């Protein structure tokens, strides 16, 4: 039987139910950390406007390793006073304890330390990171946009007792002053800096001693991926950085247990993150939240082509898969209000928290009116994006192998596995096939997954191979693209083990890397190129690859939770909880250089599978960024609900579910 449901007929019931649900949500877990709306004010005087615009988290910056024995208000504004004036704002202190600048060290601009200058390096040379060739990581002049033109800039080592003492004192000071959180930018051992490298730092005295004591090896002085000492060195760098982060977190929370500690890192999803000991998969274990800095399609008009937005979606899906129960904060940049509206829509559709600012720094706003619109909308709908009970509706899993990044991509200094992974993710998103990213840490949590895709995960250790065998024994399936499980986590051959593991499973050739090369994310698009499919040569070349992937998935006979006739540049992400299904729809039709307002799409048909025994009792659509709400006409049949909707930039489709029916015996 099919029946038509119109929200108006249940208006009173649903309005009361929604009010109770909203109140319960606030009590149960949509806290400030999970639903952060972030910016850095241009000064304390900017806080009234910040609060008016719907911001709930503000950052104040402390750089380097300052002396903490100072009166309130010196390192950052007096937090006690701010708390009195702005009780609803959460205050996070940004720290950068591994990079120290000394202004005025190179006033003549010759790239060298001026004679007679006292700097951090002249006073604490043993605290500075050292490259594999013995060179200290120190530069003079503007090595990066945030470094002053006449400054000395050094990267210090987390193994130095002096550095650790000063950094611990700093976080304890921040905690005792009453900050709600700490944002650590950035934990990494230097690989490249000031046009030099690779350094594979740090070969300072303290690190050499620590490495020897913990591994038994002398630090290797040349790159050799067959050398056990070199493999140990690469792993030790990441473990040591994670230990330093953990130490600072524990120190801060020993003073203020409610303080939340997070780290910023750039990218973190490819071999570059592994090279600098800042892989997101490993930093998650020692933090309360992760702040992912990422250069999105909104950064400049030349980047605003469809494939860059599609790649952004793949990156945010990765971050949410890695972070799991951790809140995901995104630091990206948009250069206009329209760019930020689409940027924010893309991020929140995956459940990420939006940080509004203007490039290239971290403060101010690209458009204050847009900021107010975006954050007002997020504040009013936060339960539909960030409630901890929400989970993605998916039958597909996509495996991200940090072990393969560490042993294959890093050794080659090339995006081999990463390209395969992100190319497959882009094709799944473009096909509106919901999926969830799994890593080594989450392979034991594959409940509800019918098919796991391995996109060339060459390195799979014995522990994780065992978890995959358990998944198969429980009835799960694997689609293995290219070579998988041919090495363990150390890069030692395990081909026979891999063949036995994947025997009788679906297999196919590598597709993701080819698709990614055709899509060319990160590059601009010629201004005279049309947005139509027929005149989009990249799509014409990549489409056969996507169709090959779809054919493999069809062979697996996996029933998908969502069916739609939406254009390929409309992405739909379905989520559910015990009492509702939410579809987050984002539109990229017509988007390109200098055009960041999507072309509206009318009459999109959508059909969604319902959980067993559940009934839809109401349906509504919420427009972004206005927050305007209207009822949806929904066709309800056995086991599914269908509807038709129009789409501007982004919208929410919300289907309220009646309580599960209890089946009683005779």
For residues 550 and 646, state if they share a domain.
no
- Of 3-17, 401-415, 445-459, 567-581, the least confident: 3-17
d(CA 183, CA 599): 38
Residue 492 and residue 432 share a domain: yes
Stretch 14-30: mean pLDDT, rounded?
Answer: 40
Mean pLDDT of 474-494: 94
Which residues lie closer than 8 Å to 102 by C-beta, 6 or more apart?
A: 117, 119, 120, 121, 151, 152
Q: Greatest CA span in the chain, whole angstroms?
A: 94
Q: What sign for the dihedral angle of Cα 121, 124, 128, 134?
A: positive
Tokens of 592: 């390109």
pLDDT at residue 23, as a whole number: 33
Query: Is the pLDDT assigned to residue 85 strictly greater than 60?
Result: yes
Within a domain: 297: no
- The strand pair at 396-399 and 580-587 is best described as unpaired
- Of 374, 302, 361, the closest CA to residue 36 belongs to 374
Q: From residue 137, give the alpha-carbon distance in Å to each of 119, 140, 232, 490, 621.
A: 14, 11, 22, 29, 54
Q: How far is it, in rounded angstroms, from Cα 508 to Cα 424?
A: 12
Query: Helices in 504-645 by DSSP H: which ranges?
Result: 512-519, 537-555
Residues whose CB is less than 8 angstroms from the CB of residue 41 and which lie 6 or more positions away in sequence, other chains included = 47, 50, 58, 60, 363
More confident residue, 498 or 457: 457
User: Tokens 């090279």 correspond to what residue?
Assistant: 275
Crossing angle for the helix pair 337-349 and 306-323, nearest 10 degrees? 40
Do 416 and 551 belong together in one domain?
yes
Same domain, 551 and 451: yes
- Band of pLDDT at residue 413, cut at 50, 70 and 90: very high
CA dist., res. 534 & res. 539, Å (int): 9
pLDDT at 535 over 70: no
Of residues 408, 430, 433, the one with CA closest to residue 419 = 408
Count Cα neighbours of 663 within 13 Å in the Cβ-side half-sphere.
3
Say how many C-beta atoms besides its own lie within 10 A of residue 80's C-beta.
11
Share of the chain above pLDDT 90, in %: 81
417 shares its domain with 483: yes
Report whether pLDDT(27) > 50.
Answer: no
Question: Domain containing 582 — which CATH number?
Answer: 2.60.40.1180
- pLDDT for 18: 37
**600, 509: one domain:** no
pLDDT above 90: residue 136: yes
Helix/strand/coil (H/E/C) assignment for every residue in 2-23: CEEECHHHHHHHHHHHHHHHHH
Cα separation values, 140 from 133, 194, 223, Å:
19, 9, 28
Q: 550 and 625, same structural domain?
A: no
pLDDT tier, 602 (very low <50, low <70, confident <90, very high otherwise):
very high
DSSP state at residue 286: G
Phi, psi of 4 (to 5 degrees): -95, 130
Neighbour count for residue 202 (Cβ, 10 Å): 29
Indicate whether 568 belongs to any domain: yes
539 and 477 belong to one structural domain: yes
Q: Which of 555, 651, 504, 633 is nearest to 4 (CA)?
A: 633
* Number of folded domains that form the chain: 2
> Is pLDDT above 80 for 565?
yes
* DSSP element (H, E) containing 609: strand 601-609
Residue 525 has pLDDT above 70, yes or no: no
Encoded tokens for 458:
């060459």
Q: Tokens 């030349």 correspond to what residue?
A: 302
Q: What is the mean pLDDT of residues 321-332?
A: 95
For residue 538, name the pLDDT band (cuts at 50, 70, 90): low
Determine, yes or no, domain membership for 350.
no
For residues 524 and 592, is the Cβ–Cβ distance under 8 A? no
DSSP state for residue 304 in the 8-state scheme: -
560/396 Cα distance (integer angstroms): 9
- Say if strands 181-185 and 90-96 run parallel, antiparallel, or are unpaired: parallel
Average pLDDT rounded to a whole number, residues 541-545: 88
pTM above 0.95, yes or no: no
CA angle 171/175/179 to nearest 5° reads: 115
Q: What is the pLDDT of residues 174-217, one digit of tens each?
A: 999 999 999 999 999 999 998 899 999 999 999 999 999 999 99
Q: Does residue 171 lie within any of the structural domains?
A: no
Q: pLDDT category, 144, cuts 50, 70, 90?
A: confident
Query: pLDDT digit string (tens) for 90-118?
Result: 999 999 999 999 999 999 999 999 999 99
**Residue 233 within any structural domain of the chain:** no
pLDDT of 610 above 90: yes
Is residue 401 domain-shared with residue 549, that is, in the same domain?
A: yes
Interval 148-183: pLDDT, tens: 899 999 999 999 999 999 999 999 999 999 999 999
Q: How far apart are CA 199 and CA 391, in angstroms?
A: 42
CA–CA gap between residue 287 and residue 280 (Å, rounded): 10
Do 400 and 518 belong together in one domain? yes
Would the pLDDT of 539 be above 90? no
Instruction: Report pLDDT digits (tens) over 365-384.
Output: 999 999 999 999 999 999 99
Q: Say which residue, 479 or 19, is predicted with more confidence.
A: 479
**Do residue 540 and residue 574 come from a single domain?**
no
Tell me whether residue 222 is in a domain: no
Sheet architecture: strand order including 477-481 = 435-438, 396-399, 451-455, 477-481, 506-508
Q: Please tell me the predicted confidence (pLDDT) of residue 616.
A: 94
CA distance 313 to 592: 16
Question: What confidence category does residue 258 fall into, taking pLDDT thresholds of 50, 70 and 90?
Answer: very high
Pairing of strands 3-5, 38-39: unpaired
pLDDT cut 70: percent of the chain above it? 92
CA distances from 659 to 1, 17, 78, 662 (A): 20, 12, 49, 9
Query: Which run of H or of E encompasses 559?
Result: none
Q: What is the DSSP letter of 119?
A: -
Q: Residue 496 sits in a domain of what CATH number?
A: 3.40.50
User: DSSP per residue over 371-438, as a string?
Assistant: HHHHHHHHHHHTHHHH-TT-EE--SEEEE--HHHIIIIIHHHTS-SHHHHHHHHHHHHHHTT--EEEE
**Domain range holding 577?**
3-11+560-657
Burial track 301-317 (b if 16+ CB lie within 10 A, e otherwise): bbbbbbbbbbbbbbbbb
> In this structure, are 609 and 479 located in the same domain?
no
Cβ-proximal residues to 278 (8 Å cutoff; 6+ apart), any chain: 186, 187, 188, 241, 265, 266, 268
Bridge partners, residue 507, by sequence: 480
Q: What is the dihedral of CA 534, 536, 540, 545, to 10 degrees?
A: -140
Q: How confident is the model at residue 301 (pLDDT cuts 50, 70, 90)?
A: confident
**603 CA to centre of own chain:** 32
Residue 112 lies in a domain: no
**pLDDT for the residue numbered 594:** 83
Has residue 449 been placed in a domain? yes
Q: Of 19-23, 139-143, 358-362, 381-385, which gets the smallest average pLDDT?
A: 19-23
- Whether 22 shows a pLDDT value over 80: the answer reads no
Residue 522: predicted pLDDT = 66
């Amino acid at each position: 039987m099919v029946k038509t449901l119109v929200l108006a007929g249940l208006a009173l019931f649903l309005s009361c139910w929604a009010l109770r649900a909203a109140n319960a949500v606030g009590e149960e877990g949509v806290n400030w950390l999970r639903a952060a709306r972030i910016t850095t004010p241009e000064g304390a005087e900017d806080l009234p406007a910040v609060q008016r615009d719907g911001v709930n988290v503000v950052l104040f910056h402390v750089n380097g390793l300052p002396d903490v024995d100072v009166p309130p208000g010196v390192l950052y504004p007096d937090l006690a006073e701010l708390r009195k004036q702005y009780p609803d704002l959460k205050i996070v202190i940004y720290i950068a304890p591994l990079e120290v600048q000394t202004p005025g060290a190179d006033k003549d601009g010759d790239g060298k330390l001026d004679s007679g200058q006292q700097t951090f390096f002249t006073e604490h040379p043993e605290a500075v990171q050292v490259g594999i060739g013995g060179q200290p990581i120190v530069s003079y002049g503007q090595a990066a946009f945030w470094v002053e033109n006449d400054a000395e800039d050094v990267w210090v080592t987390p193994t130095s007792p002096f550095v650790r003492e000063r950094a611990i004192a700093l976080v304890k000071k921040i905690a005792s002053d009453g900050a709600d959180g700490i944002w650590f930018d950035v934990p990494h051992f230097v690989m490249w800096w000031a046009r030099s490298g690779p350094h594979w730092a740090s070969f300072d005295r303290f690190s050499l001693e620590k490495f020897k004591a913990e591994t038994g090896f002398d630090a290797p002085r040349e790159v050799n991926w067959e050398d056990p000492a070199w493999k140990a060195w690469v792993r030790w760098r990441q473990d040591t950085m994670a230990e330093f982060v953990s130490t600072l977190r524990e120190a801060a929370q020993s003073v203020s247990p409610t303080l939340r500690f997070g780290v910023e890192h750039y990218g973190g999803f490819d071999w570059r993150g592994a090279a600098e000991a800042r892989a997101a998969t490993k930093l998650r274990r020692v933090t309360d939240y992760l702040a992912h800095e990422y250069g999105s399609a909104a950064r400049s008009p030349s980047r605003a082509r469809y494939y860059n937005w599609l790649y952004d979606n793949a990156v945010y899906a990765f971050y949410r898969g890695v972070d799991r129960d951790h809140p995901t904060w995104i630091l990206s940049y948009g250069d206009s209000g329209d760019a930020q509206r689409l940027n924010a829509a893309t991020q929140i559709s995956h459940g990420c928290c939006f940080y509004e600012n203007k490039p290239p720094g971290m403060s101010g706003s690209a458009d204050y009116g847009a900021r107010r619109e975006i954050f007002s909308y997020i504040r009013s709908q936060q339960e539909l994006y960030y409630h901890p009970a929400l989970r993605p509706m998916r039958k597909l899993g996509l495996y991200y192998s940090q072990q393969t990044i560490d042993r294959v991509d890093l050794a080659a200094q090339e995006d081999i596995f990463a390209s395969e992974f992100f190319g497959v993710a882009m094709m799944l998103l473009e096909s509106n096939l919901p999926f969830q990213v799994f890593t080594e840490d989450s392979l034991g949590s594959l409940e509800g997954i019918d098919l796991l895709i391995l996109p060339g995960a060459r390195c799979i250790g014995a522990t994780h191979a065992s978890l995959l065998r358990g998944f198969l024994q429980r009835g799960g399936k694997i689609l293995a693209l290219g070579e998988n499980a041919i090495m363990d986590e150390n890069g030692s051959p395990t081909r026979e083990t891999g063949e036995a593991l994947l025997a009788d499973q679906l297999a196919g050739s590598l597709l993701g890397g080819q698709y990614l090369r055709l899509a060319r994310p990160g590059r601009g698009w010629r201004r005279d190129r049309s947005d139509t499919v027929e005149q989009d040569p990249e799509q014409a070349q990549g489409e056969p690859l996507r169709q090959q992937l779809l054919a493999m998935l069809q062979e697996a006979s996996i029933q998908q939770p969502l069916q739609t006739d939406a254009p390929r540049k409309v992405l739909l992400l379905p989520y559910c909880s015990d009492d509702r299904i939410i579809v987050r729809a984002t539109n990229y039709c017509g988007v390109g250089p200098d055009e960041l307002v999507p072309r509206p799409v009318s009459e999109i048909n959508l059909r969604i599978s319902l959980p067993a025994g559940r009934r839809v009792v109401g349906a509504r659509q919420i427009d972004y960024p206005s927050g305007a709400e209207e009822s949806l006409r929904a066709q309800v049949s056995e086991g599914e609900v269908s509807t038709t909707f129009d789409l501007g930039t982004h919208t929410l489709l919300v289907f309220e579910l009646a309580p599960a029916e209890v089946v009683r015996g005779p």
